[in-house]
Amino acid sequence: MKKALIAMSGGVDSSVSALLTIKEGYTCEGVTMRLFNKEQESEKLCKTCCSDKDIEDAMRVTNRMGIPYTVVDYTVDFKEKIIEKFVCTYEQGGTPNPCIDCNRYMKFEKLFEAARSRGCDKVVTGHYARIEYDSEKERYLLKKAVDSTKDQSYVLYNLTQEQLAHVYFPLGGMTKASVREIAQREGFVNADKADSQDICFVPDGDYAGFIEAYRGQALKSGNFVDMHGNILGQHKGIVHYTIGQRKGLGIASSAPLFVTRIDPQRNEIVLTHGDGLFSDTLYATDVNLISVPRIEGQMRISAKVRYRQKEQPAVVTQLEDGRIKVKFDEPQRAITKGQAVVLYDGDIVVGGGTII
């Protein structure tokens, strides 16, 4: 008997994924990860994933489909693996991507443990991406979704061969419109529910305010400086700023100024008029490769350094210590420490890593 554990977010994508998996002949069980204690939740959190409202929606959908449903508490793990890393990355002058970490440590680590304990063959999520097996390479491949406007392969580059063998993405070959049509036809309560857009634990987008409250202390101000070290003014604390930022600097200038470097050791933020934002080379660590076991020599690929960016042509080299060096054909704007660089060969995800 084929068994699948369905990651139920309370949204339309995971609900339709559950339905399609049932139709594939799997015996299914739905599960939602609780990432916050109830006292941590607020009215704002109801607009994101994993809130009590989402749990209620997931329960109603699973009841309609007649499959078991449970809520698993990962609040401690989420704080240690996701929130703490998020805060530390900002404090170290980087810009984190907690959704990538949540996929890595929560959905495809903790849920895999839950699936194994339940005797499930597959972990199913509502991600828009595709998995194929290449018999010649004897490797599982991660590929972009058919719906390019919903493709989520960028945030899934950390999947291992073992995980890819036991993951199922039912929506990878579908459009969002067709997914909603199925949900409406089935009468799902969340058929028209809006997609969650914000980071779940910072729904108002005030990262600095969240970090200040999390650490329980005021942020330390420091100097804005130019490329030569001349003081231009005072900043409100380095976590308020990201590479490429122009608005909210509060510095009078004859031409727009942008954040080009954040120096946590000196507590300084370096500003430039624009040219200093561009670079053609980056290094990344914590590398995971999917389509190949290792990059030998120079490999021609396309790469992107943020989720919404279009891939850009580049050459990647893997160093002896496992890190990768990516050299773009053309300089890229605001390459940011802490973000992910993901490598592509057409629709295939080669792999990726964290920009340092």
What digits encode the pLDDT tens for the residues 232-272? 999 999 999 999 999 999 998 889 999 999 999 999 999 99
Cβ pair 294, 318 in contact under 8 A: yes
Angle 44-336-224 from CA coordinates, rounded to 5°:
85
pLDDT-derived band at 199, boundaries 50, 70, 90: confident
- Say how many C-beta atoms besides its own lie within 10 A of residue 4's C-beta: 26
pLDDT at 37: 72
Q: So which residues are the catalytic ones?
A: 102, 200
| 267 vs 41: which has the higher pLDDT | 267
What is the mean predicted confidence (pLDDT) over 306-310?
Answer: 93
In the predicted structure, residue 40 carries a pLDDT above the cut 80 = no
pLDDT at 46: 45
E strands in the chain: 3-7, 27-34, 69-73, 122-124, 129-134, 139-144, 167-168, 222-225, 231-235, 258-263, 268-272, 278-289, 298-304, 312-318, 324-333, 340-345, 348-355
**Separation of alpha carbons 325 and 59, rounded Å:** 46
pLDDT at 45: 47
- Of 101, 175, 132, the closest CA to residue 348 belongs to 132
In the predicted structure, residue 344 carries a pLDDT above the cut 80 = yes
Q: Residue 92's beta-bridge partner residues?
A: none
Q: Residue 272's beta-bridge partner residues?
A: 258
Q: Give residue 31's identity as a one-letter amino acid code.
A: V
Annotated binding site: 7-14, 33, 126
**Separation of alpha carbons 137 and 291, rounded Å:** 8
pLDDT in tens, 123-146: 999 999 999 999 999 999 999 999
All domains of the chain in start order, with CATH:
3-186 (3.40.50.620), 219-273 (2.30.30.280), 277-355 (2.40.30.10)
- Of 98, 108, 105, the closest CA to residue 129 belongs to 108
Annotated binding site for ATP: 7-14, 33, 126
pLDDT at 136: 95
pLDDT in tens, 147-191: 999 999 999 999 999 999 999 999 999 999 999 999 999 999 999
